[in-house]
Structure 1
């Protein structure tokens, strides 16, 4: 072995631990930054113009982009996000109720508001009857009340038939205020063709 080869070997051996440490640090998943908790200031005003028990809104008559009371609004809402807390109302349904309340706050007449909500994906179990929900989560379904109030406010409620099949549910497992559709995918196509805007919650 020449002196040059010996020096290269020594250098390589000394660099190996450093290289291994660098690779290990690259492979380590960085810790997620803690998310700031959203908390209203004391005394913040909240109102419920349409959906009385859910989706409260904070009045802002000074804010930009206010809904036009004379316009016609057609929206198909993709309710897809679930929750690990099966004892609480889904945040996605609360936001749907807030959408209805915001239009009500803006004085848009109910006959100018056409909202279709398609419940699918992780949110599918929110449509289950109490008996079915208890089989899975050992508690009553906390979402049935908000779904009833949404329907009473004129929101059309569908659950994706494909999602039911994937979750091992049948039509009779679904609560009384929800209609089973062929698929969320085809619902978006059909209602998009009818001029409905798409929104995901």
Structure 2
């Protein structure tokens, strides 16, 4: 097979373009612009489905698992990722309202440092992210029914967590107010 110079240049140019684009995508760093150190994201400007800057985002997260992601509760990590994606997408903060209903196996993540230390013999790995989420407007509710069944008093809770009558009350009230339930 005999290639002429123009065909060779076209093939090489196409190959070089593929390498450059691939390297850009691969080399793009993970970012945590809002919740520092948690919920790492990469922004892809050319991705087909983007967040819409015109919409109001009212989202509720049902956190009931004690599953871990990068050393913290996976549900909290997911909320951090959501906020970080909104930031990189340019969604105005006034258009974002995030709430979490924490109950079931996840209840212990809401303990303050002393109570967590007493229960598990170590610092609560979720304390920092809970504080950052609170500082960025996320409302974190914990089910008082779950607290009671685990002998947790309100004085044992992280100050950035709000005791609610129940997880059911938090979820149903917010869903009826137009919040969208986010998968976890």
**TM-score past 0.5 threshold:** yes
In 2, Cα distance between the equivalents of 1:84 and 1:190?
A: 28
CA RMSD of aligned residues (A): 1.9
Aligned-pair distance for 1:95? 1.2
Query: 1:100 aligned to 83, 86, 98, which one?
Result: 83
1:80-119 paired onto structure 2 within 5 Å: 80-83=64-67, 88-119=71-102
In 2, Cα distance between the equivalents of 1:200 and 1:88?
A: 20
Aligned-pair distance for 1:64? 2.2
Deviations 1:134-169 (A, max 9, x none): 122100111010000001111111111111112111
1:1-201 paired onto structure 2 within 5 Å: 43-83=27-67, 88-201=71-184
Paired positions, count: 160
Unaligned runs of 5+ in 2: 1-24
Does the 8 A contact of 2:39 with 2:79 survive in 1? yes
Partner of 1:15: none
Instruction: Give the TM-score, by structure 2 length.
Output: 0.81
Aligned-pair distance for 1:45? 1.5
Q: 4+ residue stretches of structure 1 with deviation over 3 A?
A: 41-44
In 2, Cα distance between the equivalents of 1:80 and 1:100?
A: 20
Aligned-pair distance for 1:44? 4.8
